[in-house]
Amino acid sequence: MVEINTIVPHTLGRVDALDRMHQMVDSLGQRFPQQVHQVRSSWHDNKLNIRFAAYGYLVQWEAVVMEEQISLLGQIPDAARIFKAKIEQTIVSRIESVLSGASDIQIRKVA
């Protein structure tokens, strides 16, 4: 498995960011029915674990929603390695759109 580790800063606060992330997860399969299938998710306080099939690949993500950022740790199959940057960009852009109330969103990769 290939890991993707990213942080998405926000200015919404933990509660509002959690609400928006819940909305995103609840509507994921309906909003992107051609790309996302077999969505399985669970929440534990501020931590989301989600698995889904996208473009034929099973992907897994853990998102930890904090006061000023969302920490993302994803795993994709080795066969999807060539699409790593595209998968990361797509996931981060979806989360950014959910957090669009934040005025200073920037993406920072974690080494």
Rounded CA-CA distance 6/10 in Å is 13
pLDDT at 54: 80
Per cent of the chain over pLDDT 70 is: 89
- Find the mean pLDDT for residues 68-91: 91
pLDDT (tens digit, 9 = 90+) per residue, 30-52?
Answer: 777 777 788 899 999 999 999 98
Q: What is the mean pLDDT of the chain?
A: 85
> 23: closest CA among 95, 88, 104, 87?
95
d(CA 102, CA 41) in angstroms, rounded, equals: 25
pTM above threshold 0.85 = no
Backbone angles phi, psi at 95, to 5 degrees: -70, -40
